[in-house]
Amino acid sequence: MRKWTLTGIVILLALTTAIAVVADEAQKIAPKDLPAKITATVNARLRGAEITSAEKETENGSVVFDLEMTQKGLKYEMDIKEDGTLVEIEKEVKNPAAAVTKAVKAKFPDAQIKIVMEVNAVKGTTETPQHYEVTFTTGGKEKEVVVALDGSSVKEEAEETPAKK
């Protein structure tokens, strides 16, 4: 009887874990299907931006929409709560500070930088720069690192993926 109980508990835990993992996976959404509160937040911050990618996900128990967009030739990303509250905005930086590129090149000498995004926390209408996310290729692999605003640290963020041509 104990074996069956233990087996039942193991199966129940496995199913619960599987359900939790599926529930936390991002769900792709067509930009035209986004809730009005989400598009209103985008338009209030970046009038005329074109949403190129949208996902709905659960972060720390809250529903968050993760959006990618372009405006006037620059890339942007936003994290917006279900109620329309803007939490984070990332902005493409065409000419990053020398300290940022120097820090990346010091750690990855053959890095070919593809894009630098300034990551800002948002509270109300105030944006506070937090760090940079730098995507580059090195040794045929694509990497993304987080770089301190002053270039004092470079930390790997994502797993390597084959470089896109």
At residue 15, the pLDDT reads 44
13 membership: H or E segment, kind and range: helix 2-24
Residue 22 DSSP one-character state: H
At residue 19, the pLDDT reads 43
At residue 25, the pLDDT reads 80
Partner residues linked to 79 by β-bridges: 66, 88
pTM for this predicted structure = 0.79
Among 163, 53, 162, 154, which Cα is nearest to 96's? Answer: 154
Partner residues linked to 111 by β-bridges: none
At residue 3, the pLDDT reads 54
At residue 163, the pLDDT reads 54
- For each of the chain's 165 residues, which pLDDT tens digit applies? 445 554 545 454 444 444 444 445 889 999 999 999 999 999 999 999 999 999 999 998 999 999 999 999 999 999 999 999 999 999 999 999 999 999 999 999 999 999 999 999 999 989 999 999 999 999 999 999 999 999 999 999 755 445 554
